[in-house]
Amino acid sequence: MKIVTIVAFAAAASLSSIASAADEQVNMQIKDGLEAGKHTKNTISDDIKLYFGKQKTPAVDKKIWEGGTTQKSMRKSQKEHCETAFVSAILRLQDRARKEGGNAVVNIVSGGSNDSATEYTCTSGRVTGSVTLRGTVVKLK
């Protein structure tokens, strides 16, 4: 009888830890992420312009590349790991724009469908955060 009780208790404990480790989708402020990117070793640069969601953009001369990146971060707090992953994703998009000869990334969406001009989606767990950004590298007129 004791063994059955111990096994049942262990099973319940493992299920509760799995449930508490579930990831959640959180919306974070783009302006806070961009600000955090000004205080990192590799800073978000102004040479490649960034336009989120349906923000109005200057006239596009040429569409060069469309794609995305997913970045993860392990930090102490949800805010820290989401912002760090966001900054890393923006840096990857800016690097791609430079490599392709573009001067802007437009229509940036996060999490697959968040086309907000003010918020991005972060998948946040107990230990890590993950941000997926998709955008279009262009040459503005």
| Number of domains observed in the structure of the chain | 1
Position 6 pLDDT exceeds 60:
no
Expressed as residue numbers, the domain containing 40 is 23-140
Residue 103 belongs to a domain with what CATH number?
A: 3.30.110.70
User: Could you read off the pLDDT of 39-88 as tens digits, one per residue?
Assistant: 888 899 999 999 999 999 999 999 999 999 999 999 889 999 999 999 99
122 DSSP 8-state letter: E
Evaluate whether residue 41 is within a structural domain.
Answer: yes
Backbone phi and psi for residue 139, each to the nearest 5 degrees, phi listed first: -110, 115
- pTM exceeds cut of 0.95: no
- 140 beta partners: 60
Q: How confident is the model at residue 3 (pLDDT cuts 50, 70, 90)?
A: low
Helical H segments across the chain, by residue range: 2-20, 30-36, 78-100
pLDDT tens per residue, range 80-112: 999 999 999 999 999 999 999 999 999 999 998
18 lies in some domain: no
